[in-house]
Amino acid sequence: MTQQALFIIFGGTGDLAYRKLYPSLFRLYEKGYLKDNFAVIGTARRPWTNDHYHEVVMNAIADDGHEADRTNSELVRKFASHFYYQSHNVNDTEHYVALRKLADKLDEKYELKGNRIYYLAMAPRFFGTIAAHLKSEKLITDHGFNRLIIEKPFGRDLKTAKELNDAISAAFSEDQIYRIDHYLGKEAIQSIAALRFGNQVIASLWNKEHIDNIQITLAESLGVEERAGYYETAGALRDMVQNHILQIISLLTMERPRAYTAGELRDRKVEALQNIKIYSEEEARQNFVRGQYGEDADQEQQAYRNEEGTDAQSQIETFVAGKLVTTNESLAGVPIYVRTGKRLAQKSTQINVVFKNVDQNIFKSVADADAKLLQNVLTLYIEPDQGYRFDLNVKNGNQSYGTMPIHLEYHKSAAEKAKVPEAYEKLIHDALDGNRTNFAHWHEVAQAWRIVDVIRQTWDSEEAEFPNYVSGTMGPQAANELLARDHRTWVYNP
């Protein structure tokens, strides 16, 4: 459905706007979700002209890489003509007055019915100031919708997250706030619900009677690259576990929603997170390990501490592995092993659901005394690969009655993957539609901090012996020991 709206992008000259927001808005335009009745105001401190802004937007689309150079197309020019730049310092009240005048003018010109989306593509320390000014300077309209989209990181711990939430909640109600966790915009993540609740075979096995353990890996092969400044204030626990991994856990462990609606899904996900056990410091120490990359085996890649912008004695973790458990009735006690890190052997996000083995191997007694039944594993490939794999035991093809493992696999082709809307495109589309299904509710964010804060505090009270893993491996040995202790191994082991 075509939508009318004014987008006001704070941080319009930034990296996120350039790499994700402008290309996503263009794809929505190409597909007809946005037509004549939309406008974008980009604001930031730089004194750009509208003409320069149009060039930037057109370059962003050309650089997007999905298709050949689209800079010269008439469509791109027409799209870019809807963009307006307003130089703006977020702390200066006068600028909001000018912003309102421009917003009102564009509202009339493009017939936007007072619909506004405020996208805060800026550091979170500005969120409170911006939200307060949007309200006090009356940018928030009393007709049409007003929605606030914000980016991670949402606080550094529960306390700061709460402060941040209080600040934006003074101007926007919860149902106007769209907290982006771009993992929730990924097709393969959204598909978890379809897989679990759309297949009787899977739905009936998704419980503690049948699942032995669940493993979640978010592995990156790159190092910190040019984000050292931010990363030194965050680390892998805050950057990946508090948001993406706990969101994935909530989707994997929630009970079945009565319907696939934003409200139902939110309630089930909040419950799922409330059911994740919050550790004591001692339990956190036992169940979570951290790592930081050293150089690679060929000494060609630098250790984290030698990267530009990092502290030579940095205590920041670039790797986390841990074990969580849920008290959700259906999955109570099933261990959920999680792992994420930079400079690992291979880039892959995947989920491995390991099923319990059959009670008795009746084939052992037939001909092949060595016949070994492997555990059935259901793998969900999230990225870069998108697909599924199911490991089964079948007869070995020999005279004797032994068994061998086979894999049923489905992988999206490159052409199919190219058709799937990119996460930001999907999420901006949903925000335009007022669909909050794939955005994080405050209760989810708060609960995720409660789970993570204990781990952070435990680590902050003890010095880590870093670096403790070689770049290009799957992290420190302690991550393997974490599972070995439970007589298990990581399924994904490149």
The one among 2, 49, 89, 93 contacting ligand NAD by CB under 6 A: 89
Q: Which is nearer to ligand NAD, 88 or 456 (CB)?
A: 88
Cβ distance to ligand NAD smaller for residue 38 or 119: 119
Please say if 95 is a catalytic residue.
Answer: no
Q: Total number of residues binding ligand NAD (CB under 6 A)?
A: 20
Residue 44 in contact with ligand NAD, rule: CB under 6 A: yes
| β strands within 387-482, DSSP E | 387-395, 403-411, 469-471
How far apart CA 398 and CA 411 sit, in angstroms, is: 30
Tell me: does residue 24 bind ligand NAD (CB under 6 A): no
State the residue number with the nearest CB to ligand NAD.
Answer: 14
Assess 342 for contact with ligand NAD (CB under 6 A): no
Return the structure tokens found at 385: 């690969």
Candidate ranges 117-125, 136-144, 317-325, 326-334; the one touching ligand NAD (CB under 6 A): 117-125
Is 45 a residue that touches ligand NAD (CB under 6 A)?
yes
Whether omega for the bond prior to residue 494 falls within 30 degrees of 0, making it cis, is no
242 is a contact residue toward ligand NAD (CB under 6 A): no
Asked whether 473 and 198 are in contact (CB, 8 A), the reply is: no
Cβ pair 82, 7 in contact under 8 A: no
Options 83-91, 259-267, 274-282, 405-413: segment touching ligand NAD (CB under 6 A): 83-91
The least CB distance from residue 56 to ligand NAD, in Å, is: 11
Name residues contacting ligand NAD, limited to 118-177 (CB under 6 A).
121-124, 151-153
Nearer to ligand NAD, 13 or 386 (CB): 13
Q: Which of 352, 177, 320, 315 is nearest to 244 (CA)?
A: 320
* Sign of the alpha-carbon dihedral angle for 206, 259, 271, 238: positive
Q: Are 400 and 367 in contact (CB under 8 A)?
A: yes
Expressed in angstroms, the distance from the first to the final Cα of the chain is: 44
Type of residue numbered 121: A
Task: Establish if 349 lies at the interface with ligand NAD (CB under 6 A).
Answer: no
CB of 223 to ligand NAD, least distance (A): 16
Query: Within 13 Å of residue 373, how many CA atoms lie on the same side as its CB?
Result: 15
Catalytic residue among 244, 407, 429, 443: 244
The helix/strand/coil state of 293 is strand
Binding site for ligand NAD (CB under 6 A): 11-17, 44-46, 88-90, 121-124, 151-153
Q: Any idea which residues carry the catalytic annotation?
A: 244
